[in-house]
Chain A
Amino acid sequence: MIKTTTITFLLAGILAVSSNAIAQQKTNGGAHDHSDHSGHGVNQAPAAAEKQQTEDHSGHDHSSNDQSALDHSAHDHSDTHDISAEQHIDHSAHDTSAQSAEHGDGHHHHHMDHDHIMDHEGTMIMGQNLDKLPSSCKSISEEVEITVRAGRKYSAKFPGTAFAFDQQQWHVKPCSKVTWHFVNEDNIRHQFMMHGLPKYLYKYGMFHLEVTGPKTVTGTIIVPGSDDTFLVHCDISHHMEKGMKAQLVVGKGAENIPSIPGVTPYNINDTYEAENLPKVSDKAEQSAMVRQITSFTNNNFQNYGMMLIGALIGLLCIPLLKKIPLRTKKAD
Chain B
Amino acid sequence: MPIRIVIALLIFSLLSSAAVQASLKLPETVKVDPAALTAEPMCDPKISPAWREAQEIDGVKIAASPGCSPDNPAWIAAAVKGTNHVSMDTLMKTGLSPDAIIKTDDLDGDGDPDRIIIKLEIMELNGKSPDFPGLVPTFDIAPGVQPGAWVFAPKTSGMSTENFESVRANPLLRLPSPVIRVEVGDIVQIVLENTHYFPHSIHLHGVDHPFSHGDHAGQDGVPQTSEVELMPGGRRVYEFQARQPGTMFYHCHVQTHTHLAMGLAGMIVVEENRPNNWLQTLNIGAGHVRHSSVAVRENFDQEYDLHYHAMDKELSDIIQKYNDPRLIARDMNQRYDITDSTEDYYTLNGLSYPYTLRESLIIVEPDQKIKLRLLNSGGESIAVHTHGHHATITHYDGVEHNPVAQIMRDVFDMAPAQRLDLKLETVNDGKHSYGEGDWLIHDHREKGITTNGMAEGGSMSSIVYKSYLHDSGLPKVNHFGIDLNKFFTKEYYERRLPVWQDLDEWSSLGSPGGQTGLSAQEQTSLLNGVIGLLIGLVIYLIFAKREQIKQSAIAAVSRLKGAKGSNQK
Contacts and interface: CB of A to CB of B under 8 A. Distances in A.
B104 A104 contact: yes
Given A204-B164, A237-B137, A103 B326 contact: no
Interface in B39-93: 83-85, 88, 91-92
A187 B322 CA distance: 26
A107 B164 contact: no
Nearest to B125: A237
Contacts of A109: 83-84, 88, 91, 98
Given A105-B104, A188-B234, A237-B173, 17 more contacts: A104-B105, A105-B102, A109-B88, A120-B84, A152-B231, A159-B326, A161-B325, A187-B235, A188-B233, A189-B195, A235-B158, A236-B123, A238-B124, A242-B325, A268-B129, A268-B323, A270-B327
Interface string A219-254: 000000000000000011111011000000000000
A165 interface: no
A272 B324 CA distance: 10
Given A204-B164, A235-B161, A267 B132 contact: yes
Interface string B424-437: 00000000000000
B260 interface: no
Contacts of B121: 188-189, 236
Nearest to B326: A160
B194 interface: yes
A149 to B, nearest CB: 13
23 contacts: A103-B99, A105-B85, A109-B84, A109-B98, A111-B92, A118-B98, A122-B98, A122-B155, A124-B157, A187-B234, A188-B193, A189-B97, A204-B164, A210-B158, A237-B127, A238-B127, A238-B197, A239-B195, A259-B131, A266-B130, A267-B131, A268-B133, A272-B327
Interface string A170-185: 0000000000000000
A269 B102 CA distance: 42
Given A109-B84, A235-B160, A103 B102 contact: yes
Contact of A258 (B102, B131, B197, B233): B131
The CB with the most chain B CB atoms within 10 A, among A111, A193, A212, A237, is that of A237
Contacts of A161: 325
A115 interface: no
B196 interface: yes
A275 interface: yes
A77 interface: no
A266 B131 CA distance: 6
B195 A236 contact: yes
Looking at chain A's contact residues, the main secondary structure is loop
A142 interface: no
A312 to B, nearest CB: 42
A152 B104 CA distance: 32
A268 B160 contact: no
Contacts, number: 145
Interface in A251-283: 258-259, 266-270, 272, 275
A121 interface: yes
Contacts of A236: 121, 123, 160, 195
A242 B125 CA distance: 14
Contacts of A238: 124, 127, 136, 196-197
B123 A237 contact: yes
Contacts of B196: 237-238
Interface in B112-145: 117, 121, 123-125, 127-133, 136-137
Interface string B164-182: 1000010001000000000
B567 to A, nearest CB: 73
B134 to A, nearest CB: 10
If over half of B's interface residues share one DSSP class (helix, strand or loop), that class is named, otherwise mixed; here it is: loop
Given A107-B84, A237-B124, A242 B323 contact: yes
A212 B85 contact: no
A95 B231 CA distance: 35
A118 B127 contact: no
A162 B197 contact: yes
Interface in A76-134: 103-105, 107, 109, 111, 118-122, 124
Contact of A163 (B92, B136, B164, B197): B197
Nearest to B173: A237
B58 to A, nearest CB: 12
Interface of A: 103-105, 107, 109, 111, 118-122, 124, 151-152, 159-163, 186-189, 193, 195, 204-206, 208, 210, 212, 235-239, 241-242, 258-259, 266-270, 272, 275
A238 to B, nearest CB: 5
B232 interface: yes
Given A162-B325, A187-B193, A237-B124, A111 B88 contact: yes
A87 to B, nearest CB: 13
Contacts of B92: 111
Nearest to A121: B99
B561 interface: no
Nearest to B99: A121
A205 B322 CA distance: 31
Contacts of A121: 97-99
Contacts of B327: 160, 270, 272
A196 to B, nearest CB: 10
B330 interface: yes
B98 A241 contact: no
Q: Give the 7 A-B residue pairs with the shortest CB-CB distance, closest first.
A: A162-B197, A186-B233, A152-B233, A187-B235, A122-B97, A266-B130, A160-B324
B159 interface: yes
A174 B85 CA distance: 44
Contacts of B233: 151-152, 163, 186-188
Given A107-B84, A111-B88, A242-B197, A122 B99 contact: yes
A162 B324 CA distance: 9
Contact of A120 (B99, B169, B194, B326): B99
Nearest to B193: A188
Contacts of B123: 236-237
Nearest to A112: B88
Given A103-B117, A120-B84, A204-B164, A189 B193 contact: yes
A152 B157 contact: no
Interface string B312-326: 000000000011111
Contacts of A267: 130-132
A152 B232 contact: yes
B317 to A, nearest CB: 14
A193 B161 CA distance: 13
Contacts of B322: 270
A241 B195 contact: no
A266 B128 CA distance: 12
A204 B92 CA distance: 18
Contact of B324 (A119, A186, A270): A270
Contacts of B163: 204
B159 to A, nearest CB: 5
Interface string B11-27: 00000000000000000
Given A107-B85, A121-B98, A266 B323 contact: yes
A238 B136 CA distance: 8
B323 A124 contact: no
Nearest to A257: B131
Interface in B231-266: 231-235
Given A160-B326, A188-B193, A237 B157 contact: no
B194 A188 contact: yes
Contacts of A275: 330
Contacts of B326: 159-160
Contacts of A204: 163-164
Nearest to A193: B159
